[in-house]
Chains A and B, each alone.
Chain A
Amino acid sequence: MIGSEIAKRYSRAFLAIAGEDVKYEEYYNELKSFSLLLDQNENLKGFMDNPVFAQSEKIAVLDEILMKIVVSPVTANFLKLLIQKKRISVLPEIEDCYQQYMDTALNKVRVKVRSAYQLSDDLSEQIKVRMEELTGKKVEMETEKDSLLLGGIVVKVGDTLYDGSIRAQLNSIRELLREEI
């Protein structure tokens, strides 16, 4: 909970800077790419999280990395700040919070769709339009094929799940049949 509060505070601050520059998504993508890099590289993550190493050493390593990946000066400074404040370990949470704040700021909602068959472009568009009608926000949709669903789709909007799959109906039927008459 404390970590979440910290993440919220840092993400709000970073979002404010991004708002001034009108580069919400650009900064988010940079933050996300560095977070992914840390997540994929255990040694680097361990080094950054380890309090034995001096902050200066960590910043030197970060500089080396930033020379190889394209990151805006604002994002680079933000990452250095996190190292200095010993908050680099909460970067994944900051990224999540930032995304939520950014979506709110941009009036955007992220929708995850799981489908039993590969969705056609037309159908994807229809889903997107319907979701936009439903939420009243701009939809950023992510699709995934899941043959276990047998048929239909499962739509996740924020914390809300809409299940229109055959699997869900079979489960409902199973539960109904199991219940005593």
Chain B
Amino acid sequence: MRKIFKGIFSRRFLLSSFLPAVLFIILSAAFVYASGGSEEEGHHAGQFVTFAWKTVNVVILFALLYWAVAKGIKRFFAGRRESIKESIETAIASKEDAKKKFDEYSAKLGKATGEIEEITRMITAQGEAEKKKIIEDAKRTTEKMKADAKARIDQEFKKVRNQLRKEAAELSVEMAETILKKKVKKNDHELMVKDFLDRMVRLN
């Protein structure tokens, strides 16, 4: 109880709130009283006392209310302020984290984009190289096929040419043989023999 009264009638409270309120009430009552007539002075004095007591009661009521609620209200608003502050700080931290993450992901994204571009460029280069290689292989194969075909043609041509030559030779010899069979007589034979003997003896 002492604590309560001590809280209510603390110097600070008295100076800042209670005393000005009491003075205001008294001055107001005095002003009302001074402005009243002579006939009605006794009646007005009774009203003033009543009014003063009521005022005092109201002041006490307000003081009690202030004492009972002010701390809670102060605490509530103080907690609320701390909460808001914390929320703001949290929000700022979250924002900073989000910004960091954003920056980080932006960097990662940039890096990934770069890597993708590099991979794309590499794949394109590989594709180009592969394409070039395939074309070169195809060219080489084509050239080889051409060369092979030419070789085969040449070979076939040579074969046919040889075959024709053989056939021509055979036919020529056969024709010559047929003619010689008809034309060569014993006299020719004897001349050949003599000529052969001369040559054989001469050469040996």
Q: Mark A152-168, 1 if CB is under 8 A from B, else 0.
A: 11010000001010100
Q: Which residues of A contact B162 (CB under 8 A)?
A: 178, 180
* Chain A residues within 8 Å of B194, by CB: 123, 126
Closest chain-B Cβ to A80's Cβ sits at a distance in Å of: 45
Asked if B173 contacts A152 (CB within 8 A), the reply is no
Q: Does A151 contact B (CB under 8 A)?
A: yes
Residues of B within 8 A of A (CB): 162, 165-166, 168-170, 172-173, 176-177, 180-181, 184, 186, 188-190, 192-197, 199-201, 204
Residues of B within 8 A of A115 (CB): 189, 193
A151 touching B180, Cβ below 8 Å: yes
Q: DSSP majority for the B interface?
A: helix
Interface size class of A (residues with CB under 8 A): 20 to 34
Are B190's CB and A173's CB within 8 A?
no
Given that A170-B173, A174-B170, A178-B165 are known contacts, is A152 also in contact with B189, CB under 8 Å in the complex? yes
Within the complex, what minimum Cβ distance (angstroms) separates A36 from chain B? Answer: 31
- Distance of B163 from chain A, by nearest CB (Å): 10
Q: List 25 A-B contacts (CB under 8 A).
A: A116-B189, A119-B193, A123-B194, A126-B194, A126-B197, A127-B197, A150-B177, A150-B181, A151-B180, A151-B184, A151-B189, A153-B193, A153-B196, A155-B200, A164-B193, A164-B200, A166-B180, A170-B173, A173-B176, A174-B172, A177-B165, A177-B169, A178-B165, A178-B169, A180-B162
Nearest residue, chain A, Cβ from B172: A177
Q: With A and B bound together, what is the CA distance between A159 and B177 in angstroms?
A: 28
Q: Do A152 and B196 form a contact, CB below 8 Å, given A116-B189, A178-B165, A180-B162? A: yes
CB proximity of A163 to chain B, nearest CB, Å:
9
| Set of chain A residues within 8 Å of B190, measured between Cβ atoms | 117, 120, 123
Q: Contact: B176 with A170, CB < 8 Å?
A: yes
Instruction: Tell me whether A52 is interfacial, beta carbon within 8 Å.
Output: no
- Distance in angstroms between the alpha carbons of A162 and B180 in the assembled complex: 21
8 extra A-B contacts, CB within 8 A, seeds A115-B189, A155-B200: A119-B193, A126-B194, A126-B197, A150-B177, A151-B192, A164-B200, A166-B192, A173-B169
Which chain A residues in 116-169 approach chain B with CB under 8 Å? 116-117, 119-120, 123, 126-127, 130, 133-134, 150-153, 155, 162, 164, 166
Contact, CB under 8 Å: A133 / B201? yes
A166 in contact with B170 given A134-B204, A151-B192 (CB within 8 Å): no
